[in-house]
A and B are shown apart, each in its own frame.
Chain A
Amino acid sequence: MQDSTDSVVTTTQASEVWERTQQSTEFKTLKSRFRRFSFPMTIAFLVWYFVFVLLMTFARDWVSTPVFGNINIAMILALLQFVSTLIVVVTYDMYSHRKLDGIREDLRVKVEKELHG
């Protein structure tokens, strides 16, 4: 890998830029907004998936109950996993647009200006 040639700052100055940005209010807001969504959502979908797995494993009689003709609870729960996946995708995209992308772009421009002038 080559050093970037357009750099106008030294390595020490660059690390100061990174550390200063990390401590900035704007960055802390971005970080907490990102984590406030992604972390609980990750835990939620994993819990929901493992509830599904555990029901398929240990509650077979219950999930075998037919609901509409040949469609039983197991099939409905499996299809709900598809639905919930879609919901997470759409929600995260909307959240990113509203709460993350703007502030992220501001910070990117600012940091690159400080690094490269």
Chain B
Amino acid sequence: MTIDSTNLAFILFAVFIATTLVLVTYAGRQSRKASDFYNAGGSLNGFQNGLAISADYMSAASFLGIAGLISLYGFDGFFYSVGFLVAWLLALLLIAEPLRNTGRYTMGDAVAFRMRQRPVRTAAAGSTLVVSIFYLLAQMVGAGALVALLLNLTDPAAKNWIIAAVGAIMVVYVVVGGMRGTTYVQITQAFLLITGAAILTFLVLLNFDFNLNSLLGKASEMSGLGQAFLEPGGRFAVEVVGDSWASFIGKLDLISLSIALVLGTAGLPHILIRFYTVPTAQVARKSVNWAIGNIGLFYLMTIALGFGAAALVTRETLGRGVNDDGSLVDSSGNVAVPQLSVVLGGGEGSFGGAIMLAFIGAVAFAVILATVAGLTLATSSSFAHDLYGSVIRKGKASSKEEVHVARIATVVIGAVAVILAIFSQGLNVAFLVGLAFAIAASANLPAVVLTMFWKSFNTRGAVWAIWGGLGSALVLLFLSPNFTGAANSLIPLSTGIDINFFPLRNPGLFSIPFGFFMGWLGTVTSKERDKELWAELEVRSLTGADVGERPSH
């Protein structure tokens, strides 16, 4: 990387930040009511919201992480793309429309609709906070590493400053622009991301005469793994020779991750609140259609980006060097896309390479900022609307007061996320994201699905489903090799602390069914059955009558 690309990247970052700040200020001027802050007044159309959803969803883990995994491990990286896309069908078929019709601003609105407000909203806010903070950490840790790399900053303190800067910018987006401003940033990002990925894809395919077969052939040849590069098992559930138990656990772990991916999307709070930004359920459906189109197109392009990087960039470069024992210095592959862009632009030291690298760096930066802004908004909304408005002030707070609290919460959440991210830089980004999906699927999905479709579901069921799913996911995590007892655990082996009793790294296989089970158990052990509110919820959820109005209790 030359000085040219670093300077150019700085300029492009500055242009992006300046443009988005103008958009956000403009959005802030347009915003008068509380609903502008929470859901952009419910005024977006399907195309706008679809783009914003895809920007919210496709984080740096998608743009850099998946292509990076493909570039180093081949087919298994693409496995992520499939799960992340298919997951949207659940949101489309069961969640988006009923949610739009029954809630206003937060996930808690819909789940607490026919329940006693305080316990359910406390639980909903609790799980929203945990899921979003995990996800936020992943993004910010990734941002620090990525931007430092792109700008060629070697000083460790530089990463901390970048994390702090990302935190500050996202806080400004949310405080000034609310949901409307965040949406504008996300729409800008979606255009940049698709354009960037399309340019790279086109150039990769051009190199191989638009022949997928020869692209895959060259990629497997360059990887040094031959056909195995194109087969499953390179990264996930790697066969352990002579240890069938370990091989089996690896396979279970892969299944657990798959369940978390496919069921987690429809439980992510920052995704759920995007369904509130449109006027009707029909538009909510259209926005999911647009989002699926956009997301599907992007994930399809990860084939060209990932295998293209494997075919055109040396393995040593992708891994940022090779250790003495032959292993790669960086086994994440996060630099594969930037490295690929250098090659496609004309190679190291060329002017074209510098331009491409700076452009792709700016896209990655935009991707991170748009996602963290959405996460911060979801968290502060839930804090202000569920915890402050309904639990602390028992519904007596004015909407103006709530938004004021939300803005303060945004600043606090930003500060907390920056501090946590600075101390978690050793954590693997993909691992944090996988975890956020598992927790979302365990804590949120059962409560949302059961409240929409199960007549008997009640307050105790909702509370037990959320806390049960959340608690079991977190407990299994602490007892897993992620935390202690393995070579790459968070707590190093050398400390001698070993509470590794649960062999799977992803808890979803057990914690998601447990969330549903607790929802059932809580419901049947409580006598509460509110027939009137069930009638209201069911009619509202399917017809969209009186949407956005207060439930009649």
Closest to B389 in A: A1
Asked whether A2 is an interface residue with its Cβ less than 8 Å from the other chain, the reply is yes
Q: Is A11 an interface residue (CB 8 A)?
A: yes
Report if B488 contacts A (CB, 8 A): no
B residues 375-417 near A (Cβ < 8 Å) are 389, 395, 399
Task: Report A-chain residues with C-beta under 8 Å of the C-beta of B292.
Answer: 85-86, 89
Chain A interface size, as a band, is 35 or more
Taken together as a complex, chains A and B put the C-alpha atoms of A41 and B532 apart, in Å, by 30
The distance from the CB of A34 to the nearest CB of chain B, in whole angstroms, is 6
Q: Are A71 and B85 in contact, with the CB atoms below 8 A?
A: no
Residues of B near A42 (CB, < 8 A) are: 89-90, 93-94
The distance from the CB of B468 to the nearest CB of chain A, in whole angstroms, is 22
In the bound complex, residues from chain A placing their C-beta under 8 Å from that of B254 are 53, 56-57
Measured as residues with beta carbon below 8 angstroms from the partner, the interface class of chain B is: 35 or more
CB contacts (< 8 Å) of A85 on chain B: these are: 85-86, 88-89, 292, 296
Bits for B216-251, please: 1 = Cβ < 8 Å to A, else 0.
110010000001001111000100000000000001
Interface positions, chain A 14-41, Cβ under 8 Å from B, are 14-15, 18-19, 21-22, 27, 30-31, 34, 37-38, 41
Contact flags (1/0) for A51-63 with B, using CB distance below 8 Å?
0111011101001
A49 to B110, CA, bound (A): 28
- A1 touches which of B79, B258, B399 (Cβ 8 Å): B399
Task: Name the contact of A19 in the complex, choosing from B79, B82, B395, B532 (C-beta under 8 A).
Answer: B532
Give, as a whole number of angstroms, the nearest-CB distance from B46 to chain A: 11
Chain A neighbourhood of B237, CB < 8 A: 57
Tell me the minimal C-beta distance from B236 to chain A in angstroms. Answer: 8
The SS class assigned to the B binding surface is helix
The answer to whether B85 and A4 have CB atoms under 8 Å apart is no
Return chain B residues, CB-CB under 8 Å to A75.
75, 78, 216, 230
Bound form: Cα–Cα A77–B86 in Å: 13
B93 engages A41 (CB within 8 Å): yes
Asked whether any CB of chain A lies closer than 8 Å to the CB of B168, the reply is no
A59 → chain B closest CB, angstroms: 9
**Contacts A78-B79, A108-B544; is A64 near B94 (CB within 8 Å)?**
no
Interface centre among B86, B258, B553 (most CB of A within 10 A): B86
Give chain A residues whose Cβ lies under 8 Å from the Cβ of B79.
56, 78
Check A3/B231 contact, CB under 8 A, given A18-B536, A42-B90, A70-B213: no
Task: Please determine whether B213 and A74 come into contact, CB atoms closer than 8 angstroms.
Answer: no
Complex-state Cα separation, A88 to B88, whole angstroms:
11
Q: Which of B78, B213, B543 contacts A69 (CB 8 A)?
A: B213
Closest to B538 in A: A22
B323 on interface, CB distance cutoff 8 Å: no
Residues of B within 8 A of A115 (CB): 545-546
Specify which of B86, B233, B293, B538 is in contact with A31 (CB 8 Å cutoff): B538
| B 524-535 to A, binary, CB cutoff 8 A, 1 in contact else 0 | 000000011101
With an 8 A cutoff between CB atoms, is B539 at the interface? yes
Interface residues of B in 512-553 (CB under 8 A from A): 531-533, 535-536, 538-540, 542-546, 549-550, 552-553
* B491 is an interface residue with CB less than 8 A from chain A: no
> Taking each of A56, A58, A60, which has the highest tally of chain B beta carbons within 10 Å of its own beta carbon?
A56
Task: Report B188-221 residues with CB < 8 Å from chain A CB.
Answer: 212-214, 216-217, 220
**B12, CB-defined interface residue at 8 Å:** no
The residue from A45, A74, A92, A111 contacting B543, defined by CB atoms under 8 A apart: A111
Contacts of A38 in B (CB 8 A): 93-94
A-B contact pairs, 19 of them (CB 8 A): A1-B395, A19-B535, A21-B543, A22-B535, A38-B94, A56-B79, A56-B232, A63-B231, A66-B227, A69-B213, A69-B216, A70-B217, A78-B78, A82-B299, A89-B89, A89-B92, A92-B92, A104-B281, A115-B546
Supply 6 further A-B pairs (C-beta < 8 A) apart from A34-B542, A56-B232, A71-B212.
Answer: A14-B552, A18-B552, A69-B216, A72-B230, A82-B300, A93-B285
Return the 6 tightest CB-CB contacts between A and B, nearest first.
Answer: A111-B545, A70-B216, A18-B536, A64-B231, A69-B213, A22-B535
Q: A-contacting residues of B (Cβ < 8 Å)? A: 75, 78-79, 81-83, 85-86, 88-90, 92-94, 104, 212-214, 216-217, 220, 227, 230-233, 237, 251, 254-255, 258, 262, 281-282, 285, 289, 292-293, 296, 299-300, 389, 395, 399, 531-533, 535-536, 538-540, 542-546, 549-550, 552-553
